[in-house]
Chains A and B, each alone.
Chain A
Amino acid sequence: EVQLVESGGVVVQPGGSLRLSCAASGFTFDDYTMHWVRQAPGKGLEWVSLIRWDGGSTYYADSVKGRFTISRDNSKNSLYLQMNSLRTEDTALYYCAKDIGAGSGSYTFDYWGQGTQVTVSS
């Protein structure tokens, strides 16, 4: 059974930093592209970032480019999101999501974690 478990979400002040983690199990982690997707309170879904199976390529939404860094450790079946220079508009539930396609990815999300809440507030 595929499982994705996010952690690391807390309340942080504007300008602060945070590192989210996602522990994956139930599939061959290093075969798949992985994503972070967020959802602000009462709002829709926003794709944040992806990293390809080998960590060789990463992509970001313009809203986080230059502030967030996605990474992975295939030896630990783990995905990360380093979040710097946080803004109030980054407040959201952050989901880790598995790409449906092996290899370079197909850019749709077939499994999601339950999310970790990030609140940016003074």
Chain B
Amino acid sequence: EIVMTQSPATLSVSPGERTTLSCRASQSVRSNLAWYQQKPGQAPRLLIYGASTRATGIPARFSGSGSGTEFTLTISSLQSEDFAVYYCQQYNNWPLTFGGGTKVEIK
């Protein structure tokens, strides 16, 4: 099973700041990596797939990069609605696995 490790566990950020979240895979997943956002009491929302392709309706301030084992999600200017938990997910190997999440909180 591929283990996905996200860092940091919690990120304290001020609105308007740029922030970068990291996701590492225990073995190569090529570009088969997705990012999701989850707010309290809500279902997850797909942000990025294919490591760097924004899903439908996702604002341009969200961008993804990386391949192989190292990936990043960048939010260029944090808005109030972006404070949430973010998960990465690999879909290169069975079983499909998620990272433990990074919580982005208001500083």
Contacts and interface: CB of A to CB of B under 8 A. Distances in A.
Interface of A: 44-47, 50, 59-62, 95, 100, 106-110, 112-115
20 contacts: A44-B100, A45-B36, A45-B44, A50-B96, A60-B95, A62-B95, A95-B44, A100-B46, A100-B55, A107-B91, A108-B89, A109-B34, A109-B36, A109-B44, A109-B46, A110-B46, A110-B56, A112-B45, A113-B43, A114-B43
Given A109-B44, A110-B55, A115-B43, A61 B95 contact: yes
Contact of B97 (A47, A60, A114): A47
Contacts, number: 54
A62 to B, nearest CB: 7
A59 B95 CA distance: 8
A112 B44 contact: yes
A121 B80 CA distance: 38
Given A45-B44, A45-B87, A106 B99 contact: no
Interface of B is mostly: loop
Contacts of B45: 112
Interface residues of B, number: 24
Given A107-B96, A112-B45, 17 more contacts: A44-B87, A44-B100, A45-B44, A45-B101, A47-B96, A47-B98, A50-B96, A59-B94, A59-B95, A95-B43, A100-B46, A100-B49, A106-B49, A108-B49, A109-B34, A109-B46, A110-B55
B11 to A, nearest CB: 16
A46 B43 contact: no
Contacts of A62: 1, 95
Nearest to B100: A44
A46 B89 CA distance: 10
